[in-house]
Structure 1
């Protein structure tokens, strides 16, 4: 692993050729006895697993007969996901565990995020809580909340007086 190119933005650098002291954080630790990541950890109150904080993207849409929620949840297992509906409040929460890191591991990029998340949505009246369904496939959560039949829009025919035209009432 002597030549590992890392592309970020418009430039390319080959970090594998740099001496270990080229790491600005390591240089700062050596020169000042200061570790900025350690200071951030103290503020965040956790170990280095806080990453970039795991905040999954959601898509919410309404169809004529249901509300559809989709969320990108890569790396989340079924047993690490909890979905609850209480009244008009839908809560989706879960966690993605940090992978075990070896002491000898040397990262050139660490952009994946781990941790717990919780999202709550306030729903309009008329969700049929008894017939909700959810599946997690290929890292995408699909949640369907059907509307109760009374809430679904119904088309009402309008009849005009055109049928009575020309008729004479006695």
Structure 2
């Protein structure tokens, strides 16, 4: 004796509809989104009697790309950007000096009103083609093929909320050897002053 009748036949069209929808969503082209690389820098935060100390690892950060600000009386926000930049150690500085910049090469190719010999024109065109081939070779050298990329690059954002009010006007921050040190003084406790009534 069965307490429940066989309902699988009644719901079969519904299950087929859900399966068709799932297959349709799986084959739908995904919109291309650009991902912004980000990372979270590591910080040590400790408290002394009169202030808070924050020491964070920010290798490769320039002072110009670092922002430190208060969003409210208790919250300090540190944000910035790290970019991957390498110096090309395989090429010498002489090669860089020989390659002219674009402004001077464009200026030298401007037509003039003077009459010149045909041989001089041929020599100038050979010289400009040699310079352009050096530029192409230099650009090809700068295209690197990365085998491993472990360094943190991109944007970062950290927020620190302090349990007590802090003195925002006397905060000091230094960046040395990839370590950001921020000293946040505590705001002195308000003192109660009794006013004498006359």
The normalised TM-score by structure 1 is 0.55
Question: Superposition pairs for residues 25-64 of structure 1, below 5 Å?
Answer: 42=32, 45-46=34-35, 50=37, 53-64=38-49
RMSD of aligned alpha carbons: 2.4
* Residues in 1 aligned to 2:68 and 2:164: alpha-carbon distance in whole angstroms: 18
Return 5+ residue gaps in structure 1 as ranges. Answer: 1-41, 152-170
Which residue matches 1:70? 55
Higher RCO structure (Cα 8 Å, ≥6 apart): 2
Return 5+ residue gaps in structure 2 as ranges.
Answer: 1-31, 87-138, 191-198
SS for the counterpart of 2:64 is: helix
Q: How many residues are matched?
A: 105
1:126 maps to 2:112: no
TM-score, L = length of structure 2? 0.47
CA radius of gyration, larger in: 2
Whose helix proportion is higher, 1 or 2? 2
Partner of 2:67: 82
- 1:108-131 residue CA offsets vs partner (Å, 9 max, x unmatched): 322112100111111122311121
**Rounded Cα–Cα distance in structure 2 between residues aligned with 1:76 and 1:125:** 29
Per the alignment, residue 137 of structure 1 pairs with 176
- How far the C-alpha of 1:99 sits from its partner, in A, is 2.9
